[in-house]
Structure 1
């Protein structure tokens, strides 16, 4: 396991953490039963197969 060679200062640690940004998922429009929904790109196949219902509940 990698270990730091020296202690990192508190300000450097906080500055490094502040660079981590979460990005919202890109939503793509899909049509299910004649209605259009916007869903995350990585879940499109699950919606098309019926594994996930558009109202948010699992089948």
Structure 2
């Protein structure tokens, strides 16, 4: 039977146990065009971030 050579640290144990509750990303509506987008990301429809145009809109 396999026996661990070293004790598993609390950090390593807890990091492994924390992964069961991962979930899909949440979406918010863009304040400019009201399309769903990821929070803290540039809107792919209008190209705005934080109320300013920063990228070309995907058309």
**Same fold flag (TM > 0.5):** no
In the superposition, the TM-score normalised over structure 2's length comes to 0.36
In the superposition, the TM-score normalised over structure 1's length comes to 0.36
Q: Select the structure that is richer in strand.
A: 1
Q: Select the structure that is richer in helix.
A: 1
